[in-house]
């Protein structure tokens, strides 16, 4: 994979994931507190389930970094490019399954996510896209050390990419169904 295609993949993925929490009412995260409309569960079970969910999410990030970042891709070798693409698609599939668990768990319940929950989801998506960006960077060649300024600027850009979803959710006036 060359640098320009990796950058465009990350920009497209960041655009989609930054807007996803605002467009979709379904929850992507297993949180330790009860959201409006969610089924009741014991507090200790919610905390354990949330802890396991976030540990799996972190482990998946490290696995993606290891799988994608250490893959050798030769531009002339079709097999290595296909294997790399298969690894990327596999990581996307596992992330989609993990993030879909919360919605599956609350199937049949009408959730009403708060702005705070949407903000947490945006931050989790930022971390996932950033992990994929580091994996692409490690795959391409030199992985550079980043300081806090890098993270502030990229988070700001990620939030700007999520602005259309914010406008759709909170600023557009919708007609009430009669």
Burial (CB count <10 Å: 0-12, 13-18, 19+), residue 140: middle
Domain boundaries, the chain: 3-171
The C-alpha angle 59, 105, 17, rounded to 5 degrees, equals 55
Return the SS3 of 52: helix
Q: What is the pTM of this model?
A: 0.86
Greatest Cα pair distance in the chain: 60
Q: What is the pLDDT along the chain (178 residues), one digit of tens a residue?
A: 677 888 898 999 999 999 999 999 888 988 888 888 777 888 898 899 999 999 999 999 898 888 887 776 655 667 777 787 888 888 889 999 998 888 788 777 777 888 999 999 999 999 999 999 988 888 887 778 889 999 999 999 999 999 999 999 999 877 776 6
Nearest to 73 by CA among 5, 146, 13, 22: 5
């Amino acid at each position: 994979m060359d640098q320009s295609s990796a950058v465009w993949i990350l920009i497209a993925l960041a655009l989609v994931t930054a807007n996803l929490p605002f467009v979709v009412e379904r929850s992507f995260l297993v949180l330790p507190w009860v959201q409006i409309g969610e089924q009741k569960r014991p507090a200790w079970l919610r905390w354990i389930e949330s802890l396991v969910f976030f540990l799996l999410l972190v482990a998946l990030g490290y696995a993606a970094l290891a799988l994608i970042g250490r893959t050798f891709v030769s531009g002339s070798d079709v097999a290595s490019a296909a294997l790399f693409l298969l690894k990327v698609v596999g990581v996307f599939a596992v992330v989609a399954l993990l993030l879909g668990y919360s919605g599956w768990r609350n199937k049949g319940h009408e959730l009403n996510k708060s702005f705070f929950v949407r903000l947490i989801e945006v931050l989790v998506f930022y971390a996932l896209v950033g992990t994929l960006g580091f994996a692409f960077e490690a795959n391409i060649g030199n992985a550079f050390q980043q300081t806090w300024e890098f993270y502030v600027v990229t988070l700001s850009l990620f939030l700007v990419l999520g602005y259309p979803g914010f406008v759709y959710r909170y600023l557009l006036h919708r007609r009430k169904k009669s």
